[in-house]
Amino acid sequence: MSIDKNTVKHISKLARISLDENKVESLSKDLTSIMKFIESLNKLNTDKTTPLTSIINASLTSRKDEVNDGKIRDQILKNSPEKNDEFFVVPKVIE
Amino acid sequence: MSKISELSLTKIVNGIKKKDFSSEEVTKSFIDNSKKSKKLNTYITECFDEALKFSKNFDKKKDYKGLLSGVPIAVKDMFCTKNVKTTAGSKILHNFIPTYESTVTNNLWSEGAFLLGKLNCDEFAMGSSNETSFFGNVKNPYGEKLVPGGSSGGSASALAAGLTPATIGTDTGGSIRQPASFTGTVGLKPTYGRCSRWGIVAFASSLDQAGPMTINVEDSALLLQAMSGYDSKDSTSVDKKVENYSSNLTEKIKGLKIGIPKEYRVDKMPTEIDDLWKKGIEYLKDAGAIIKNISLEHTMHALPAYYIVAPAEASSNLARYDGVKYGHRASGKNLIEMYENTRSEGFGNEVKRRILIGTYVLSSGYYDAYYLKAQKVRRLIKNDFDKAFKDVDAILTPSTPGSAFKIGDKSNDPVSMYLNDIFTVPVNLSGLPAISVPAGYDKNNLPLGLQLIGKAFDEQTILNLSLAIEKRANFKKNYKIWWS
């Protein structure tokens, strides 16, 4: 599978990364070579194999449904690039 | 007596306890070395003043109860440290100051250690050469033009150069073991779930694991013991007792069965790597181990599967960097444009490549062909190990297909860079523990490591086997200091 320039632009849009037009060509080349490498897996028959979704055998433990943190608004806001007293500030979304 | 900074972590801990020297003397010794090491570019953030203050306080209080009492330790900049900048080697986190401490670093501080600084690494731990860091590439003590390996390259270089008595790294596909091999140090990736991932900047959550990097095997056991343990804040950490790795450490390994997987003899592997592997086999035979030839037949498929799983998980994990909650923010006419500009400015080329690959393989219509396929291959790779471990106690392989390469040699060819992790990646896909122990030199006098892979939660056996190799290989660092 080759990742052509239009595909590069499409997935950049999905990933919310803006691209300079002059970077598209080299990215297309790099991603194509990576995908070619990945596609060597197609030679392997996995029809009867169940996917491995977790390498931990144990099932997840449950805990009591109790609040065990919170009330750290100031900490959460501390690193925000733009905020007012209680809120994250972002560019206007609704006109 | 030799210089304090030449001593092992274990000797430093014991020396402080016996009052051979103070914590302050130890700290000064490593700070002095670190200050002269600018050319290595290992530090992103130095905490020298705070460390010195802590050591002076420690010497007044004299509390020797911890496993690491009075020892300064610099850590990879992937671990969140409370009130100390944590960048993950990325521009997008260049100004991020966590308000909390990662569980693993917290475990070290609970054992009496304290923070010396934050060490350089590949951006978001994505790389095998430390060339992808926003803060510049790290250099290898073994040569100004050589990479230290990656992604824990700053950690490996700082450790090998005597800037910190020990350090911790993270290993998603070999990021502890490969740089350890390149710098003549010991690097251990524990079983998935042995150490908490809480507070570590996430790369690929089903593969990431923190581990110790030390100058010898004894130190590795000690540091592993200090950092391990169950953590209710990480649902994938496993509630299993932490062994006393240090006091159980022994080179008496007579009768243990060691598997030699034929698939690891790859094309174009330098003969000196093969020779090193044979030497490793001889060392273990000499110690009384029984050598068995085994097959891990799906090995060749591990790396392609990894380059689906890891980027897919990374693209999801890194979606959080949106310029709103923390980190770098660029301007934009509207919210979407602000996201796009922030992520374009904030991420470097390799991180972008991986996010895009991850986005592509997870995008509508491709999930089954790639991600599901990779999970199936992952099953086959794990089955290979499960089958092998019915017959053997551990597996011996080279750590890397070569020694440290030159800066710039592979940075323009992502796939050739990825091939560096060919021997380390299968272990992450299977969640197993593995260690790289220095075992010799190549013809250019560069260190080479051997890898021991163990059964899940059997770190003790691979530590013991490494000790047996270490005693016989008698590896000594042999670089000349060129950076100060």
Residue B483 has pLDDT above 60, yes or no: yes
Residue B469 has pLDDT above 60, yes or no: yes
Burial class (CB in 10 A: 0-12, 13-18, 19+), B210: buried
Q: Which of residues 241-260 of B touch A (CB under 8 A)?
A: none
Q: Quick one: which H or E segment has residue B292?
A: strand B290-294
Please report the pLDDT score of residue B412 as a whole number.
85
As a whole number of angstroms, the distance between CA B392 and CA B337 comes to: 56
Give me the half-sphere count of Cα atoms (radius 13 Å) on the Cβ side of residue A8. 22
Domains of chain B: 4-259+391-473 (3.90.1300.10)
Q: Which residue among B335, B344, B378 sits closest to A93, beta carbon to beta carbon?
A: B335
Known catalytic residue: B175? yes
Q: Do B206 and A54 touch (CB under 8 A)?
A: yes
Which tens digit of pLDDT belongs to each residue from B384-410? 999 999 999 999 999 999 999 999 999
Mean pLDDT, chain B, whole residue set? 96
Place B2 in a pLDDT band, splitting at 50, 70 and 90: low
User: B34 is written with which tokens?
Assistant: 């670190």
Nearest-CA distance from A64 to chain B in Å? 12
Could you tell me if B82 lies within 8 Å of chain A, comparing CB atoms?
A: no
Calculate mean pLDDT across residues B435-450: 97
Residue B191 has pLDDT above 70, yes or no: yes
As a whole number of angstroms, the distance between CA B424 and CA B420 comes to: 9
Burial class (CB in 10 A: 0-12, 13-18, 19+), A86: exposed
Within its chain, how far is the Cα of B18 from the centroid?
Answer: 31
pLDDT over 90, % of chain B: 95
Known catalytic residue: B76? yes
Q: Which residue among the candidates B28, B76, B118, B410 is catalytic per the annotation?
A: B76
Known catalytic residue: B151? yes
Residues in chain A closer than 8 A to B430 (CB atoms): 55
Instruction: For Cα atoms B258, B260, B265, give the angle at the middle one, nearest 5 degrees.
Output: 160
Place B15 in a pLDDT band, splitting at 50, 70 and 90: very high
Searching chain A, which residue's CA lies closest to the CA of residue B322? Answer: A16
Which tens digit of pLDDT belongs to each residue from B85-140? 999 999 999 999 999 999 999 999 999 999 999 999 999 999 999 999 999 999 99
As a whole number of angstroms, the distance between CA B186 and CA B65 comes to: 26
Q: Do A81 and B339 touch (CB under 8 A)?
A: no
Residue B1 has pLDDT above 50, yes or no: no
**Assigned CATH topology for domain A5-43:** Histone, subunit A (1.10.20)
As a whole number of angstroms, the distance between CA B136 and CA B121 comes to: 9
